[in-house]
Structure 1
Amino acid sequence: MTHPSPTSAFSRRLILQAGAALPAVACMSRETRPVPPPATFTQHRFTSADGTSLSYFRRGNGPPLVWVHGALSLWSDWRDVAERLSPHFTHYVLERRGRGHSADGAGYALEREVEDVLALMRTAGPDAALFGHSYGAVLALEAARQTAPAKLLLYEPPFPITQPVSGPALAEFERALAHEGPDAALVVFNRKVLLTPEHELEAFRQTPQWSRQVEMTPRFARELRALEGLPRGLEAYRQVHTPTLILLGARSPEVLLAQPCRALARTLTHARLGILPGQGHVAHVTAPELLAREVSAFLRE
């Protein structure tokens, strides 16, 4: 019998515990460069409203389900969950702009990414459901304000409720990125926003996951800035009447993630809160079977 190394054991503990706070922990992606899709997925392209050519991956049978991954993440992070649901749903897994095979626009705005989601929903068809995780859940809810999906699933969107998502730490993060590089910026984010204990942060920096996050940090910066531009509170979303499941990990941080989820469940007229026992922000990594069951049960209601 083999035993995990201290580094690998730490990596899993980080995912299970702190693995949580925001896109940075949703980041536990297995690769950061374009990876050929497995034989069970087929790659396709579509064009967004601003003319940007984007990629998505399709697999499955049954009603369409559009997936929008979070920051510091890739479409392939959702393969495990999607594969489990493929006998019953046809997946349209977005490869968000600036990642992998998807092009990037001339200038970034959250609104452009919302247009990307809407374009893929049109490709999937009028009966498509929509799933968004973390920053992708923010995009999904914004898209649902404009075009109602058949059903909506939101896994821990980091909306500012009582305080900004990053607050004063964002300026320090951006200064570090500009003058010291993405590694230093990611350290700032972990220390000042995620409040990662110093010994865990130092151990995390020795893992492969850290270098993968560092590579995606420049894109992460523009997403953090976009989150800071969101208005405090959720009044704008009262107009969303789509049946909605809001997913929350039982171990996720209160202010950054749990508070927005509970507030959304109270605000949206046809929403309910689903708790993922023992999980944090990355149940698609730590408990894909559990997450697949929750998604399937809601979509079959």
Structure 2
Amino acid sequence: MPHPASTSTVTRRLVLQASAALPALACASQGRETRPVPPPAPFTQHRFTSADGTSLSYFRQGDGPPLVWVHGALSLWSDWRDVAERLSPHFTNHVLERRGRGHSADAATYSLEREVEDVLALMKVAGQDAALFGHSYGAVLALEVARRAAPAKLLLYEPPLPITQPVSGPALAEFDRALAQEGPDAALVVFNRKVLLTPEAELEAFRQTPQWTRQVEMTPRFARELHALEALPLGLEAYREVRSPTLVLLGDRSTDVLLARPCRALAKTLENARLSILSGQGHVAHVTAPALLAREVSAFLRE
């Protein structure tokens, strides 16, 4: 899910909406000479086959215990390159390229269950001791995976779960009409206005950016994900069976009903979970604070 509306400035809004990862800043130690640290080996692309026969792509980098990453909606695997790369000295990253994106194939019909099978298949490739990280819609997939096969550890960054009300509600019908009659640009406008409650000035500024163009291109796939979320039952009862050590990540600037309430409820519901607040962040800390997010992930995995 893209970053919800907040009281931030238009400039910050555009940064938060950006899907491309920011480059890391080099920092030299003061008062002593340091030898340059060699860059990690590049990500290498690999393929695997899901349960329904769909051929999918993932990107691998690093050394150490396996860690599987599942990105969210309106997003690409490369958006997570910066954060994952920071963990590569200690973990072997397996970053999924979700079906219908990039080099991953798609199927004629879609369901959330097919994507759960995709993640399960990649977890098998990664190994029995693999940890699992999911962001937004990818966090919903990760949570569903954990019900079926417990990962070594589970990290969930702001899954948009329907706690007391549907995720999109009546706005979904308006989104569908706009998509069918006016196209993906109009549908994405509806989503920002009616679900994210994005202020008009910020929305109009965002529509002038390359990130908006990229999200418009992904909106037809986004539509099927919104419908999958809408079909989920209200509440968290189905997830009580998840036993993996779990870290729930929440930005303190993320919207209350759509993200904060589900995160807080999930941390209380799961038997072996705790909540970690990302100070000054919203829904895309992998863009705005990759070093902070990488530290949170690494600390939890190395406990």
How does the TM-score come out when normalised to structure 1? 0.90
Shift of 1:30: 3.1
Identify the residue that residue 29 of structure 1 maps to in structure 2: 19
Select the residue among 65, 68, 75 that pairs with 1:66. Answer: 68
Given residue 244 of structure 2, which amino acid in structure 1 is its aligned partner? T
Shift of 1:162: 1.3
Q: Deviations over 1:252-290 (max 9, x none)?
A: 001000000000001000000000000000000000000
C-alpha separation between the residues in 2 aligned to 1:39 and 1:142? Answer: 32
Given residue 81 of structure 1, which amino acid in structure 2 is its aligned partner? V
Task: Tell me, yes or no, if the aligned pair for 2:83 and 2:286 is still in contact at 8 Å.
Answer: yes
Q: Deviations over 1:110-166 (max 9, x none)?
A: 000000000000000000000000000000000000000000000000000111110
C-alpha separation between the residues in 1 aligned to 2:169 and 2:200? Answer: 21
The 1:85/1:191 distance shift into structure 2, 3 A limit, reads same
The 1:91/1:166 distance shift into structure 2, 3 A limit, reads same
What is the correspondence of 1:1-301 to structure 2 with a 5 Å cutoff? 12-15=11-14, 19=16, 25=17, 28-30=18-20, 40-301=42-303
How does the TM-score come out when normalised to structure 2? 0.89
C-alpha separation between the residues in 2 aligned to 1:93 and 1:81? Answer: 11
C-alpha separation between the residues in 2 aligned to 1:51 and 1:249? Answer: 37
Identify the residue that residue 34 of structure 1 maps to in structure 2: none
Equivalent position SS for 1:275: strand
Unaligned runs of 5+ residues in structure 2 are 1-7, 22-39
C-alpha separation between the residues in 2 aligned to 1:15 and 1:142? Answer: 31
Q: Deviations over 1:34-61 (max 9, x none)?
A: xxxx960000000000000000000000
The 1:10/1:216 distance shift into structure 2, 3 A limit, reads farther
**How many pairs align?**
278
Equivalent position SS for 1:212: helix
Which 4+ residue blocks in structure 1 deviate beyond 6 angstroms?
none
Say what the alpha-carbon RMSD is for the aligned residues: 1.5
C-alpha separation between the residues in 1 aligned to 2:114 and 2:240? Answer: 22
Shift of 1:11: 6.5
C-alpha separation between the residues in 2 aligned to 1:12 and 1:155? Answer: 24
Equivalent position SS for 1:79: helix
Q: Deviations over 1:96-116 (max 9, x none)?
A: 000000000120000000000
Given residue 51 of structure 2, which amino acid in structure 1 is its aligned partner? A
Q: Deviations over 1:182-221 (max 9, x none)?
A: 0000010011001111111111111111111101100000
Identify the residue that residue 3 of structure 1 maps to in structure 2: none
